[in-house]
Structures are given as structure tokens and as C-alpha cells.
């Protein structure tokens, strides 16, 4: 039985190590500092492990992402190609993501920030109209999280549709695909939610060309990765009124630098990468299961295809 390495960039891994041992006392879970023999590392559970380190573990049998995305792992050019990579599949993350997106959509739809602005001079507006039928939510990315978000929006009575790179059929949900499908979906959507994996094909997908197709006064919700968004194009779309607001949880550089213009932009609902905050108990359950599977010679849950990037 090898070592289970736990590494979370910028965060103490101790609570995760404790939870792993609580759920399975036989596990030898350690942080990077406590790894004395690289050859002993069997599984690496990571968020942003410094590039070049994976290749120093000759007996590594699984790279388990602590996130739904694996771009931080695939970005390491020296990652040994023989080691399987798994993303975390945790039902709790889906619920948290659904809540985050629903809050952003309702905040925009019910004009919370505009009403808060009226408050400054104690104004009581009398002609406020909300049109729920005009809320049409287009979800980019129809994986586990994308489908959960689309279903939840339908549950709230909003229309929803989705897009993925390759064709998908999901009962009760209009699914678009490919470049033409993306344009069709953008033209239809008054809310676009990005839940795509970050790959060469999806980098920069949220750009002026896409915003230009959307109806006036729309909402953008980016809960994918910062690299999906062309930041300069977002500011231009907000200035022109094409987009009324943007809920951003992910950024090209995290933490977002103090002097970034997004902080002071009141049209941006800014959150510090918390949309689908991972739950230590339920995510650890998923990790323990994948360690068991790897040791039994089975494929892990959430195994990704490095060629596709997700």
C-alpha cells in the first residue's frame, strides 16, 4: 500500500488528510512535505500541484483532481501519460453549483442590484416588471454539472437549452452542438452559463462574437474557468448594454489581482471561486472509492480522456 499524497495549492491539506484517515484508517495520507520517498507515492489527490512533480513519482497509479476540472493537471507538460487522471464526481458539488447559478439568475431577473441602487435616495419604484418568460437559460457544457443546472432552471419554470462540442441527446432538454449550434443557442439565450471544461477548443469561447448574438440586456454566468472569457470583450459588452450583468466566479489569474478593474465594476457579481466548493466529507468518500478501485485494478469514477481534455 503506497502513500496517498494530498496537495492543495495555497491551502493546508491537514483537514483532508484527517478526513481520509477517518473514513479509512488504513490509508497513509500525507502532504507534500511529509513525502520522503517519491517512489512510495501511489495516488496524488491535487489542486494545482507544481508542474514537473508528477513525473518524480515513478509508481504513481492515479492522479485524482480535487475539482470537477482537470485542466490544472493536463497543463503539466511533463505529466506521465501512463497515469490515469480522474475528476471529482461529488453530488454535493452539483447542488452547490445549482445554488450559485440560481442565485445569479434570480438576482439579475429580479433586478436586485438596480433596486439596491434606488435605495440610496429612498426611492420607491412603482413600475417594476419582471418577465419570467423572457428568462431563457443556455448552458454551455452538458456534463454532470451542466445537466444539473439546466434541470434546476427548468424546475424554476425558466426555459433552458444546452450546448456541447459533440452531439448529445438528453430527454426534455434541447441540445445544440458544434459551431452553428453555439451561434443558435447564443441568439436564443438571455442567460448564458459556462460550465465547459477548459481545453484548446473552449479557451476564449466567451468573446465579443458570442456576446454580439445575445439579446440586449442579457446575463453571463462564468463558472467554468477564467480562460474561457476574453476579459476585454466582457467590459465592452457591458458598456454597450448587450450584457446587463456578469456573474464571474473564475478568473485568468486567481486570486484576482487587487488592481483588476472587475472588483469595482458594479455590473459584475464577483465571487472568489466558490460556486461548487467541494465538500470534504462527500468528496473524500469519492476519493476513497477511487483508491479502492485503482487497487482492485478497476477504472476510477470520473476517468478523463486526456486527448479530449475532459
Partner 1 sequence: MPAVLFYSPNDSAEAWRQSLAERIPGVDFRAWPDVGDPADIGFALVWKVPPGFLKQFPNLKAICSLGQGVDHIFADPELPRGPHIIRLVDPWMGRAMAEWVLLQVLRFHRQGPEYEALQRRREWKSLPAPETATRRVGILGLGALGAEAATTVAALGFDVAGWSRTRKTIPNVTSYAGPEEFEAFLARTDILCGLLPLTPETTDLMDAALFAKLPKGAFVVNSGRGGQLVEGDLLAALDSGQIAGAALDVFRTEPLPQDHPFWAHPKVQVWPHVSAQTNADSGADQVAENVRRVFAGEAPINQVDPDRQY
152 touches partner 1 (CB under 8 A): yes
The per-residue b/e assignment along 271-280, b for 16 or more CB within 10 angstroms, e otherwise, is eebebbebbe
Q: Which of 157, 172, 179, 297 binds partner 1 (CB under 8 A)?
A: 157
263 touches partner 1 (CB under 8 A): yes
Q: Which range binds partner 1 by CB under 8 A, 30-38, 55-63, 217-225, 254-262?
A: 254-262
The question of whether 225 is a catalytic residue gets the answer: yes
Toward partner 1, which CB reaches closer, 60 or 268? 268
**In 10 A of CB 129, how many CB atoms?**
5
178 touches partner 1 (CB under 8 A): no
Looking at 189-297, list the stretches that DSSP marks H as alpha helix, in order from N- to C-terminal side.
Answer: 208-211, 231-240, 280-295
The per-residue b/e assignment along 192-213, b for 16 or more CB within 10 angstroms, e otherwise, is bbbbbbbbeebeebbeeebbeb
Active-site pick, 7, 30, 176, 225: 225
Q: How far apart are the first and last CA of the chain?
A: 29
Toward partner 1, which CB reaches closer, 99 or 308? 99
Binding to partner 1 (CB under 8 A) within 276-305 occurs at 277, 279
Separation of alpha carbons 127 and 130, rounded Å? 10
Give the total residue count for the chain. 310
258 touches partner 1 (CB under 8 A): yes
Quick check: 229 and 213 in contact, CB under 8 A? no
In three-state form (DSSP H/G/I as H, E/B as E, the rest C), the secondary structure along 214-233 is CCCCEEEEECCCHHHECHHH
Active-site pick, 273, 285, 293, 295: 273
Per-residue contact string for residues 91-130; x = within reach of partner 1 by CB under 8 A: ----xx-xxx-xx--xx-xx-x--xx-xx--x-xxx-xxx
22 touches partner 1 (CB under 8 A): no
Looking at 77-129, list the stretches that DSSP marks H as alpha helix, in order from N- to C-terminal side.
Answer: 91-109, 112-119
Q: Which range binds partner 1 by CB under 8 A, 62-70, 136-144, 232-240, 253-261?
A: 253-261
261 touches partner 1 (CB under 8 A): no
Separation of alpha carbons 249 and 283, rounded Å? 20
- 163 DSSP β-pair partners: 140, 176
Q: Residue 272 CB, nearest distance to partner 1 (Å)?
A: 5
Binding to partner 1 (CB under 8 A) within 206-245 occurs at none
187 touches partner 1 (CB under 8 A): no
Toward partner 1, which CB reaches closer, 103 or 213? 103
Residue found under cell 443546472: 149
The question of whether 99 is a catalytic residue gets the answer: no
Which positions touch partner 1 (CB under 8 A)?
95-96, 98-100, 102-103, 106-107, 109-110, 112, 115-116, 118-119, 122, 124-126, 128-130, 132, 152, 155-157, 254-256, 258, 263-264, 270-274, 277, 279
Kindly list the catalytic residues: 225, 273
Amino acid at each position: 500500500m503506497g502513500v496517498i499524497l494530498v496537495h492543495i495549492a495555497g491551502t493546508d491539506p491537514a483537514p483532508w488528510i484527517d478526513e481520509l484517515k477517518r473514513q479509512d484508517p488504513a490509508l497513509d495520507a500525507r502532504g507534500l512535505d511529509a513525502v520522503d520517498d517519491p517512489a512510495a507515492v501511489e495516488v496524488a489527490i491535487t489542486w494545482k500541484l507544481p508542474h514537473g512533480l508528477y513525473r518524480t513519482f515513478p509508481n504513481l497509479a492515479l492522479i485524482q483532481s480535487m475539482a470537477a476540472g482537470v485542466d490544472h493537471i493536463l497543463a503539466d507538460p511533463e505529466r506521465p501519460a501512463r497515469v490515469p487522471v480522474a475528476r471529482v464526481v461529488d453530488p454535493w458539488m452539483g447542488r452547490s453549483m445549482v445554488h450559485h447559478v440560481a442565485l445569479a439568475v434570480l438576482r439579475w431577473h429580479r433586478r436586485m442590484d438596480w433596486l439596491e441602487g434606488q435605495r440610496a435616495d429612498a426611492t420607491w419604484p412603482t413600475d417594476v416588471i419582471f418577465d419570467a418568460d423572457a428568462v431563457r437559460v443556455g448552458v454551455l457544457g452538458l456534463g454532470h454539472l451542466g445537466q444539473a443546472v439546466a434541470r434546476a432552471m427548468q424546475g424554476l419554470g425558466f426555459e433552458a437549452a444546452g450546448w456541447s462540442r459533440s452531439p448529445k441527446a438528453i430527454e426534455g432538454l434541447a441540445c445544440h452542438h458544434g459551431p452553428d449550434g453555439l451561434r443558435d443557442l447564443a441568439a436564443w439565450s438571455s442567460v448564458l452559463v459556462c460550465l465547459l471544461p477548459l481545453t484548446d477548443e473552449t479557451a476564449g469561447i466567451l468573446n465579443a462574437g458570442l456576446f454580439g448574438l445575445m439579446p440586449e440586456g442579457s446575463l453571463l454566468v462564468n463558472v467554468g474557468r477564467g480562460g474561457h472569457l476574453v476579459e476585454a470583450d466582457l467590459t465592452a459588452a457591458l458598456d454597450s448594454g448587450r450584457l446587463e450583468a456578469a456573474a464571474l466566479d473564475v478568473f485568468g489569474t486567481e486570486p484576482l489581482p487587487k488592481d483588476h478593474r472587475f472588483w469595482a465594476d458594479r455590473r459584475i457579481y464577483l465571487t472568489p471561486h466558490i460556486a461548487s466548493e467541494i465538500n470534504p466529507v462527500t468528496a473524500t468518500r469519492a476519493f476513497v472509492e477511487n483508491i479502492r478501485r485503482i487497487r482492485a485494478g478497476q477504472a476510477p469514477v470520473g476517468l478523463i480522456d486526456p486527448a479530449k481534455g475532459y
